[in-house]
Amino acid sequence: MEKILGIALILAAASAMADKIDKRQVLYLTEVQRHHVLTEMRALLAGTQDILEALSREDMASVESYARPLGTNMTHKAEGHLKAVLPRKFMQLGMSTHKAFDQLADDAKSLADPKHTLRQLSESMKTCVACHAGYQILINERASQMEAQPSHHKH
């Protein structure tokens, strides 16, 4: 009986561990690409915190000023090299986030309604949660090594 109980405990533990296996899609990026994506994500997170703090003061001018740089203008800072390596769905999630910040900034200026802005921010955070729940970024060591090697081509 103790043997059966021991086996049952081992199986239960193995089952619990299997549930903890990261099932998110792996995105293999170079160190430079990973740095770019994570830097952008951190800027979005810091900007969201700034917006929430401004909303707590009902300072809609600051809300707009914090949201505006997180919009689609942010995407012109080197996304070209990422389009070829990131899945379309990932890129769509990112673009929808930037568009949401454009709309949030526009509405903060025109409507000046903190509750409306808070609802918008809550809705856009669902995209962040979906992205982080669906993807993980690992470094492609080989591509990173090639990226780090100086080119010997003469131009």
Q: What is the pLDDT of residues 102-124, one digit of tens each?
A: 999 999 999 999 999 999 999 99
Report if residue 116 sits inside a domain.
yes
Q: Please state the pTM of the whole predicted model.
A: 0.79
The radius of gyration of the chain's CA atoms, rounded to the nearest angstrom, is 22
* Model pLDDT, residue 141: 83
Instruction: Please check whether residue 90 lies inside any domain of the structure.
Output: yes
Question: Is 23 within a domain?
Answer: no
Of 6, 22, 24, 35, nearest to 147 by C-alpha is 35
The domain total for the chain is 1
| Domain ranges, residue 98 | 51-149
In this prediction, residue 154 carries a pLDDT of: 46
Neighbours of 13 (CB within 10 A): 10
Rounded Cα–Cα distance for residues 155 and 147 (Å): 18
In a domain, 113, yes or no: yes
- Tell me which residue has tokens 């990131």: 86
**Which is nearest to 67 in space by CA: 101, 17, 108, 111?**
101
Q: Which residues of the chain have pLDDT under 70?
A: 1-19, 76-79, 143-144, 147, 149-155
Residue 106 lies in a domain: yes
Question: Which secondary-structure segment (H or E) carries 136?
Answer: strand 135-139
Model pLDDT, residue 155? 45
